[in-house]
Amino acid sequence: MASPIAARRGLASFASAALFGCLLLLSICPSAAIAAPDLNAMSPAEIAIAHRRLRELGCAAGPSGLDTRAALREMLKRCPDPTPFLSIETGRPTTPIRRIAVDRECRVAATVSYDKTLRLWSLPDGKPLRVVRFPFAVGDEFDGLAMSPDGRWIAVGGWDARESGNTAFLWDTQAEQPVRALARFGNQVGALAYSPDGKRLAIAAGDDGIRILAMPGGEPMASDPDVSESTNGLAFGPDGSLFAASYDGYVRRYDASGARTHKVATKSGRMPYTVAVSRHGQTISVGFADSRQVEILDAATLAPVALTNSAKWADDNISRVGWDAAGRIVAGGDTGRPASPLHLFDKSGRHLRDLDPVHYLLDLQPCGDAMILSAVEPALALLQPDGVLKTLVDSDAADMRFKTGDAFRVSADGTKVRFHLGFEATAMPVLIDVAAGTVGPALGDADDLAGPVTDTLAINRSTGAVDTGRSVRPRGSGPDYSGQTLAIRPDRGGFVLGSWSSLRSYDGTGKRRWKGKLATPVGGVQLAANGSLVIVAYMDGTIRWFRWSDGAELLAVFVNRHDLRFVAWTPSGYYVGSPGAEDMFGWQFNGNWNRQADFLPATGMASSRLRRPDVIQRVIPLQDEVQAVRAADGAGKGRL
């Protein structure tokens, strides 16, 4: 049986050297079984080959005489993560769509999701047109999206977890190799916006401030560094003025030259999240992450015009706002309930009526006479002028929000996991049995499964602090700690917290042990095997197993909620799946920052040597992938 190293080499042999040169870099490294190459284990000849491969990919520059280990390390820092990784691909987004952009005629929609894909959809039918993959890896994410009015140019903002930095990419939809990096930032690219004439692109990157670039060349035009927190809301008015809503509590206005003309503190909340400009350009609306009211401001002066009459509503917030073609405000947010209605207000803030409900509204944009929106469910929809919601795209992934209590139960040894495919407790429960290699409907309550322990330590979920009986010791604050899910070890020697932006392990005093690399936001956490296993429900529809000791990932399982097809895989790419599972995944290979990543579907390669049910069955009991491979090889199990 092949080792993980040999499997990597075998995987490389299925692809051409020209197309997947980055994988060849891994194939020459003796210890590159799971992660990036171990540079200390490479010989001088291997280092020279690696240098040459990186130059062929266009990832690195410099004289070839500098083929040293230190120079190679610097090259790898400047390039996308070269490690190929298994990625779910069903033809539809498997994670919530974070951002939407449309062309002026509303013929094409672009979306970005936590699955790190840019997808194009035809409108108004919602048919898929294209998938573009950027050179990102596990832990990276997209945060911003904008499309030029003519639909030719698409800008995407992302987070590179390996570098703790961010890149803004530009895609020319008419080019053969359309991707190029526009700029690098030290902070999260929270929002992007194209001007109505398509000649300017606004980029917001945390406390790096707001920049305006001339397009399509990307030359700097203007910047405003006076921003101390994340900016999630950017919008241009029809006259070319720009508006920004930032978590520092301010709304800013810039004129057509990029000069800031006004900076106004918000009244109804401290965390303005989105900003939208009315179709006539005379007023703007601001939604908040910490308020149930929407502020309506004068577009020329940012003077207050009105507040919506929604201060006492049950919504946790009304964070997403937009204007319809009739001059009314459409708004929604998070209620903590399975579904919450969209709200319709007139221009003075008076509530007119509620529209169809959605599950957790994420983005809302004008689209001709209609509006287009994304949510956890439906994934993509049109809000038509008559107020009727038309679903365009649905997700194949389970809804992993609030997988707590009985909604997320595991066996003592961690090999069985029971969860619901939907948000509601009445949604179909399924059972993953790793030892048996099966996924199916969960029959009965299964007394051998239990929910997470959450009450044996006094833990402040919003700060990660433990009440020791004498004092509360704060260990952090901010967005990483919001919306926590909790699981405590049986011996009270530690706990795990998961949220939309972090997965963290702590000891019993509240001191952080490790922070996990997020695949997508966390919907639930569990502990098993006497606390030695961490089991996590992610918003990409996966259940993943980690070692408590160091946070190393052991296994991931994805279940298609429509037909229960599943695939389980290890970090090295060994997998097992139900019949037809190969249609749901493949491997992504990154090249350089200025080209699309390549994707090789499992159905398009001879992947039988990676299909290892014998490895999958052993990796959880042994809590080590390499040991699982050795044990399976020693047992003489054949590949199925």
Give the model's pLDDT for residue 5: 31
On the question of pLDDT at 549 being above 90, the answer is yes
Are residues 373 and 414 both part of a single domain? no
Nearest residue to 462 (alpha-carbon basis) of 441, 476, 450:
476
On the question of pLDDT at 157 being above 90, the answer is no
On the question of pLDDT at 483 being above 70, the answer is no
On the question of pLDDT at 10 being above 90, the answer is no
> Is the residue at 157 inside a domain?
yes
Give the model's pLDDT for residue 4: 35
Calculate mean pLDDT across residues 97-117: 93
Higher pLDDT, 368 or 16: 368
Give the model's pLDDT for residue 74: 72
How many domains are contained in the chain? 2
Are residues 376 and 439 both part of a single domain? no
| Percentage of the chain modeled with pLDDT above 70 | 82
On the question of pLDDT at 9 being above 70, the answer is no
Are residues 379 and 410 both part of a single domain? no
Distances (CA, A) of 226 to 205, 220, 229, 248, 260: 12, 17, 10, 10, 10
Are residues 265 and 303 both part of a single domain? yes
Residue 493: give its domain's CATH number: 2.40.10.480
Average pLDDT for the chain: 84
Give the model's pLDDT for residue 66: 59
> Is the residue at 221 inside a domain?
yes
Are residues 502 and 444 both part of a single domain? yes
CA neighbours closer than 13 Å in the CB half-sphere of residue 194: 24
Q: Domain end: 393, 423, 441, which one?
A: 393
Report d(CA 43, CA 47) in Å as an integer: 6
Give the model's pLDDT for residue 500: 79
Q: Domain end: 340, 370, 393, which one?
A: 393
Residue 12 corresponds to which tokens in the numbers above?
């490389």
Are residues 384 and 416 both part of a single domain? no
Are residues 206 and 340 both part of a single domain? yes
Give the model's pLDDT for residue 61: 54
On the question of pLDDT at 30 being above 60, the answer is no
Query: Which three-class secondary structure state does DSSP give residue 188?
Result: coil
Q: Residues of 160-177 as b/e, b for ≥16 C-beta within 10 angstroms? A: bbbbebbbbbbbebeeee
Q: Domain end: 361, 393, 425, which one?
A: 393
pLDDT in tens, 31-58: 333 344 567 777 787 777 777 767 766 6
Give the model's pLDDT for residue 424: 73
> Is the residue at 30 inside a domain?
no
> Is the residue at 36 inside a domain?
no
Residue 165: give its domain's CATH number: 2.130.10.10
Mind spelling out the 3-state secondary structure of 248-293? CCEEEEECCCCCEEEEEECCCCCCEEEEEECCCCCEEEEEECCCCC
pLDDT in tens, 420-473: 998 876 678 999 999 999 999 998 777 789 999 998 888 876 666 676 543 333
CA neighbours closer than 13 Å in the CB half-sphere of residue 246: 28
Give the model's pLDDT for residue 78: 67
On the question of pLDDT at 596 being above 90, the answer is no
Its domain, for residue 413, covers: 405-559
> Is the residue at 41 inside a domain?
no
Give the model's pLDDT for residue 77: 67
Are residues 178 and 201 both part of a single domain? yes
Are residues 375 and 466 both part of a single domain? no
Are residues 371 and 412 both part of a single domain? no
CA neighbours closer than 13 Å in the CB half-sphere of residue 158: 32
The pLDDT confidence band at residue 182, using thresholds 50, 70 and 90, is confident
> Is the residue at 614 inside a domain?
no
Are residues 416 and 516 both part of a single domain? yes
Distances (CA, A) of 375 to 32, 328, 343, 372, 532: 39, 21, 15, 10, 35
Report d(CA 12, CA 32) in Å as an integer: 12
Are residues 388 and 421 both part of a single domain? no
Residue 524 corresponds to which tokens in the numbers above?
């639930």
